[in-house]
Structure formats: C-alpha cells, structure tokens
Copies of this chain bind each other. A is one copy, B any other.
Amino acid sequence: MSIEDVLSRIDSDLPAATERLLELLRIPSISTDPAYKADCDRAADWLVADLQSMGIDASKRATPGHPMVVGHLGDGGPHLLFYGHYDVQPVDPLNLWDRDPFDPEVQDTPKGKVIRGRGSSDDKGQLMTFVEALRAWKEVKGDWPCRITFFLEGEEESGSPSLVPFMKENAEELKTDVALICDTGLFESKTPAIVTMLRGLLGEELTVKAASKDLHSGMYGGIAMNPIRALSKVIAGLHDETGRVTIPGFYDGVPELPDELEAQWQGLAFNHEAFLSDVGLAIPAGEQDRTPLEMIWSRPTCEVNGIWGGYTGDGFKTVLPSMAHAKISFRLVGSQDPLAIRENFRTMVEDALPDDCEVTFHGHGASGASGADISGPMFEQARQALSEEWNVPAAYIGCGGSIPIAGHFQQILGTEPMLIGFGKDDDALHSPNEKYDMESFHKGIRSWARILDALT
C-alpha cells in the first residue's frame, strides 16, 4: 500500500474525523480557570481512550496541575515525538460569540467550510491532524511508520507550570530524534511553513495601591493619589515616541536580522496592509524603524493584556479607587534574558510610582526565545512533503507567538523542535468565534501523512 492509499483513506474518513474533533471540542478544557479542572481531566481521558482505541500504549500522567497524556507506539526508523495541547483559552467576552463556544459545528462560509468553536484551531483541531494521519496510516498499512511518542499537555494556555518538571523527570522517555509540534500556522493562509524562530514570553501582573480603601472622589478628589492615574502613567512610559520599549537593558541580546534571512523575508512579499486591514487597522504600531515582518517575528514587544480598577459597571460611580491592576506581557527574541527583564521592569515601575503608591507584582511565566537548527536532513524532507501537499514551496518563517516548549525540547532533551501547523490568520485564536478551516484540518491530516512518509 502506497502513500496515495493513505491519502485516499484520509479523504474518505474526513466526516468521521470531523465528528471525533467535534466531540473533543465539546469539552470546555479551560486550563487557566480552576472551575474547569474536571473538564481538563475529561479532555485528557478522551485522548487516552482515543489513542488506546488505535492500539497505542497511552496513559494519563498526573502532575501538580492538569495531567499529561503520554503514548508510545511502533519501533524502528527515526524516533519521532508529537506534541500538542488539549487545553483552551477562556471564552470571554462571551457576548461576542455567535454561538456557545463549546457547542461546535461545521459552518458554510463565503470562504469555505469552517469548524467553529473554542479550541478548534488552538490547539485541538491541530492536535487531531496528527492523530488522524496516524489512524489512517495504521488502517491502510496495518503497521506504524516508525517509533513515535505522543506528549500532550493541558496547561499550555496557562503558562505550562508542570511542563519543565515533567520533562526533566521523564527525560529518557521523551528524548527523541525530533519533536513535531503542531501549534503554528500557514504563512498568510496560503503557504505551508516550518517555524524556525520563536519569540519568548514574560508575563507580569501588577497591583498599584494608593489609599487603604475606596474613597469618595468629592471628598478626596484632588488631594488623594489616584492609583489609576499612577498606573496609566507607568504604562504610558513603557514605550517612547518611536515605539521602543524604555525598560533599561530591554534590548540587550536582541540580534539584528541576518542578511540572508532578511532577503528571504523580503521574498515573501508580506502584505502588511492586508494583514492589518483584516482586523480593522492600517498603521504598523511597533518600532517605527522596523519592517512589519520584523515587528511580528523578530523584534521584542511589550503589550498590556488587561487593565482594571475602580467602578466598571453600568452608570457612574464617583469613586476614587484604592487599587488599579494590569496584566502586561513581553515577547522576547534572541538571547534576551526574561528574568533580568522582569527585574528591570519591576525596578522601573517602583521608581516611576509616586511615594503614596505601593506596587505588588505577580509573575506569570518567563521563557526565552528559541530557534531551530535546520541543518539536519529531516527539515528539508518535511519541507518537501509540505510543498507537495500544498502545491507551493513551503517556507521557513518566524513566529510572533511564544511556544516555550520548543526551547524546552532543545535545552532539556537536546531534541530539535520542528514546528508545523495549519492555522490561518483569521482563525480568531484567543478571541470570540474561533474557527479552524476544514481545508486546514483536511490538508493538515494529509500533510502529516506525507511528512511521516518522507521521514521514514
């Protein structure tokens, strides 16, 4: 039986594969919210059962947080690892969803069929592309392509607190020739891509406290320090007029783009006007002396992800609040040191606040950037397989998002990460009405079958 038979089997099994994905999407496995702990567990159980049904030696492995799903199959050939995550982002603001985020369905749209629901693209749909490719392979060929280890986590959307300890404790079991990671996208929705450059992520939550209790702004307004005003000033000072981040030492370890990569990226002819206009914007808002692709792939950023303080309900309340809060994250590149930046950020905030304000910090993960070494033959084999499936040369690209696991594979296991995914720019990751194109799902499954064929 040839690879063509496997691809045919994938085509004919697509309706059943879609039903399986919808089943997994119905489980609200929001890892960041403790109220959904049992649901995360249920999603892990579902995956264990599905892998076992294929004859894979899979099990749920406890951690202090949500469980890992680990599975082993096959022998001989290269030893591959497949990584994905079964947890999903929170769904607020819920009122902006057109349907229940956990009642997924296949919808016809002007751009084609989509699978709509939280986690459809990030990352349950992507995760299942690999599972379905392997299922079809086994059904058609009666055997596995090579030795493969599954490693699925349930804490990716909440900073992966259990990941590093688990990898260290189970290093021998998880060490493989390459780690296939399916949590990225196509390039501009058309070109398959292998991500070779990933930004790191540093998360900080801060609370600025002024008065010991909420005050009446009539009685205290003017004389009492307003913590929202103080926090706003701190946030306004995080960037200078040219869009550069002002934290001392922030750009230490930020490399200039190598000439050859710069040339390749220019060849991609990235249409930043279209990229921005898709979401109602027009003007690149980053460092003014950088290209749009640099802004999203190779330059570090500082973004406020949330802010709150005082009265935020309907109507008006003339309160002078006691506290104001913000969640701020940094995307890191090159050899920027997350812990040094955290320290410099905190010192800068403390120095910037007026004497009548106190600040407390809560860290939310700190991972450096990573890049893959693409010199081995496997990267080129996978790139060829992708190019065949999509009928267009696959690209090596950067990625603005942070997938800390890529760095962990390198540093803890010495395993090179290969990031291949099929998401599109308009998938609404982390947003209301998340979707995954049926084309992404279908051709994603087919892509993995071709890659498995090329690597073995």
Q: Which positions in A face B, CB cutoff 8 Å?
A: 32-34, 89-90, 92-93, 96, 157-159, 185, 199, 201, 203, 205, 210-226, 228-229, 231-233, 235-239, 272, 275-276, 279-287, 292, 295-296, 299, 301, 303-321, 324-327, 329, 331, 354-356, 364-365, 399-402, 425, 428-432
**Contact yes or no, B296 A220, CB < 8 A:** yes
Contacts of A214 in B (CB 8 A): 93, 96, 430-432
Question: Which of these, B284, B307, B329, contacts A312 with CB under 8 Å?
Answer: B307
Chain B residues positioned under 8 Å from A399 (CB to CB): 218
Q: Is the CB of A313 within 8 A of B232?
A: no
B285 and A354 contact, CB distance less than 8 A: yes
- Answer whether A224 and B306 are a contact pair too, CB < 8 Å, given A158-B316, A317-B32: no
User: For A313, what are the chain B residues with a Cβ–Cβ distance below 8 Å?
Assistant: 32-33, 90, 92
Among residues of B, the one whose C-beta sits closest to the C-beta of A219 is B400
CA distance A311 to B91 in the complex (A): 10
Q: Is the CB of B229 within 8 A of A239?
A: yes
A235-B229, A280-B212 as given contacts; A32 in contact with B201, CB under 8 Å: no
State whether A279 touches B90 (Cβ < 8 A): no
Question: Do B306 and A159 touch (CB < 8 A)?
Answer: no
Give the residue of B90, B158, B232, B354 whose beta carbon is less than 8 angstroms from that of A304: B232
> Within the assembled complex, what's the spacing in Å between the Cα atoms of A70 and B224?
38
For A311, list chain B residues within 8 Å (CB): 90, 92, 305-306, 327
> Can you name 17 A-B residue pairings with CB atoms under 8 Å?
A33-B313, A89-B317, A211-B280, A214-B430, A217-B301, A217-B329, A218-B399, A222-B287, A222-B295, A222-B296, A223-B296, A225-B281, A225-B283, A228-B306, A233-B236, A236-B236, A307-B309
Complex contact B203–A90 (CB within 8 A) = no
**Given A212-B280, A431-B215, are A222 and B286 also a contact pair (CB < 8 Å)?**
yes
Q: How many copies does the complex hold?
A: 2
Set of chain B residues within 8 Å of A355, measured between Cβ atoms = 282-283
Chain B residue contacts of A33, Cβ below 8 A: 313-315
- Nearest chain B CB to A63's CB is how many angstroms away? 17
Q: Across the interface, do A224 and B281 meet the contact criterion of CB distance under 8 Å?
A: yes
Chain B residues within an 8 Å CB radius of A229: 235-236, 238-239, 303-304
Residue in B closest to A324 when the chains form the complex, CB atoms: B307
How many Å lie between the Cα of A218 and that of B399 in the bound state?
Answer: 8
- The residue in A218, A296, A319, A364 that gathers the most chain B C-beta atoms within 10 A of its C-beta is A218
A307 CA / B286 CA spacing, docked (Å): 24
In the complex the two chains form, what is the Cα distance from A445 to B35 in whole Å? 51
Q: Is the CB of B215 within 8 A of A299?
A: no
Task: Establish whether residues A317 and B430, one from each chain, have CB atoms under 8 Å apart when the complex forms.
Answer: yes
Selected from B221, B233, B305, the residue in CB contact (under 8 A) with A320 is B305
Besides A221-B303, A221-B331, A283-B355, 15 new A-B residue pairs in contact (Cβ under 8 A), listed by A number: A32-B314, A32-B317, A90-B311, A96-B214, A210-B280, A213-B279, A214-B430, A217-B329, A224-B279, A232-B307, A233-B235, A236-B236, A305-B321, A307-B308, A318-B329
Q: When the two chains form the complex, which single residue of B219, B314, B400 contacts A429, counting CB atoms closer than 8 Å?
A: B219
Complex Cα spacing A399 to B218, Å: 8
Nearest 7 pairs of A and B residues by beta carbon:
A218-B401, A212-B280, A32-B315, A306-B310, A236-B236, A232-B235, A222-B301
Contact of A356 among B218, B283, B400, B429 (CB under 8 A): B283
CA distance A428 to B303 in the complex (A): 36
Tell me the complex Cα distance, A303–B239, Å: 24
Chain B residues near A235 (CB-CB < 8 A): 228-229, 232-233, 236
Residues of B within 8 A of A279 (CB): 211-213, 215, 220, 224
Known: A279-B215, A401-B216. A312 touches B306 (CB 8 A): yes
Q: Which residues of the other chain, B, contact A203 by a CB distance below 8 angstroms?
A: 316, 318
